[in-house]
A = this chain, B = another copy of it.
Amino acid sequence: MADFSKIVLAGRPQGAPTPEHFRLEHGALPQAGEGEVLVRTIWMSLDPYMRGRMDDAKSYADPVPLGGTMEGGGVGEVIASHAPGFAPGDIVVGRTGWASHAALPADEIRKVDPSVAPISTALGVLGMPGHTAWVGLNDIAQAKSGETIVVSAATGAVGSLVGQLAKTKGMRVIGVAGGPDKCAFATDELGFDACLDHRAAPDWKTLSAQIKEAAPKGVDVYFENVGGKTLDAVLPRMNTWGRIAICGMIAWYSGQGVAEAAPLPVAWRTILTRRLRVQGYIIFDHNDRYAPFAQEVAPMVADGRIRYRETVAEGLENAPQAFLDLLKGGNFGKQLVRVGEDPGA
């Protein structure tokens, strides 16, 4: 029988997390009860939102308890089924957590068709991040042809799809990313019209001037993934009746930079005088929009019109370090952990 391993939360970080906040544990395989399947994790997803679950603070989801398995999504193979409609060998996606195996209720998992695209995409461009990008662009920001969009974290799992979908709509797309390699990827591979390196800009005013140059008609939509300097830079460039879809704010997740952030009145005044609509959203509220998203985007992934990039950490034991790197922007595209053998790869 296979060994069972998991990563648990060993301590709550004050500020930036470190490897000491995680612990690898081993034990007995979980048991699948009635209506559940036992899944062997193949790919695990690392996402910025997981930082919030490490805090003992009320948010849209409960925190991970101390000693509890870190939460997250994974793709795996069914190795035992006590639920109709699922059989050993099926590939499924669900909330496996940071673990080698998971017993999951059948109504909380979804089958993945390995013939459409590599199964890892069920955690990225065809999974939660892709769904997030599509809902944010279409339902929240209500982006339209001819408009200009700024996408922060432009080469990340969400941002890279936001920008590519915006191009298919006929929008002008300006990415903001960290470093020249990511910016080159955004323009050369993803087809963005421009990409600005926020690390090369000494302050928000410089970045704001660069946005002005790249968006001569102003910014109609800002897809907010980061907060921080990028938000300060974009706000003065927003056009009247612009929309800001707040998907994340990774720059502030561990408390860094919060004290230096612009005061609220500046943003509030811009929202009023430019008549902006600023809306936060959490993808779990939009499950009814998964099917139309997948219907539109899966064919574009299958035939290569939509590109994606993955960074892979090898082995569950390396997940904590990969997560810490992700929080600092060290990943390039979708950050995955290879937990077990992929039969299709």
Q: Which residue numbers of A lie inside 8 Å of B, CB to CB?
A: 52, 59-60, 224, 227, 231, 240, 246-249, 252, 257-259, 261-269, 271-282, 285
Contacts and interface: CB of A to CB of B under 8 A. Distances in A.
Contact of A281 (B275, B280, B281, B282): B275
Contacts of A272: 246-249, 280-282
B281 A60 contact: no
A277 to B, nearest CB: 5
A10 to B, nearest CB: 25
Contacts of A252: 265, 268-269
Contacts of A227: 264-265, 268
Number of copies: 2
A275 B284 CA distance: 11
A269 B60 CA distance: 11
A252 B270 CA distance: 13
A104 B224 CA distance: 45
Contact of A268 (B240, B246, B276, B285): B246
B263 A261 contact: yes
A258 B268 CA distance: 11
Contacts of A274: 60, 280
Given A249-B265, A272-B282, 19 more contacts: A59-B273, A60-B273, A60-B274, A231-B264, A246-B268, A246-B271, A248-B272, A249-B268, A257-B265, A258-B263, A259-B263, A261-B265, A264-B264, A271-B278, A274-B280, A275-B281, A276-B280, A277-B278, A277-B279
A153 to B, nearest CB: 14
A264 B229 CA distance: 12
Contact of A275 (B266, B276, B285): B285
Nearest to A272: B280
A247 B263 CA distance: 19
27 contacts: A52-B273, A59-B273, A60-B240, A224-B268, A227-B265, A231-B264, A246-B271, A247-B272, A248-B272, A249-B265, A249-B272, A258-B263, A258-B266, A259-B263, A261-B263, A261-B264, A263-B263, A264-B266, A267-B267, A271-B278, A272-B281, A272-B282, A273-B282, A274-B280, A276-B280, A277-B278, A277-B279
Nearest to A267: B264
Nearest to A253: B269
A268 B269 CA distance: 14
A227 B265 CA distance: 8
Contacts of A271: 246, 278-280
Contacts of A268: 224, 227, 231, 246, 249, 252
A286 to B, nearest CB: 10
Given A265-B249, A269-B252, A279 B285 contact: no
A231 B60 CA distance: 21
A41 B262 CA distance: 43
A160 to B, nearest CB: 20
A263 B259 CA distance: 7
A328 B59 CA distance: 37
- Counting from the closest, the 4 A-B pairs by CB-CB distance are A272-B280, A271-B280, A278-B278, A277-B279
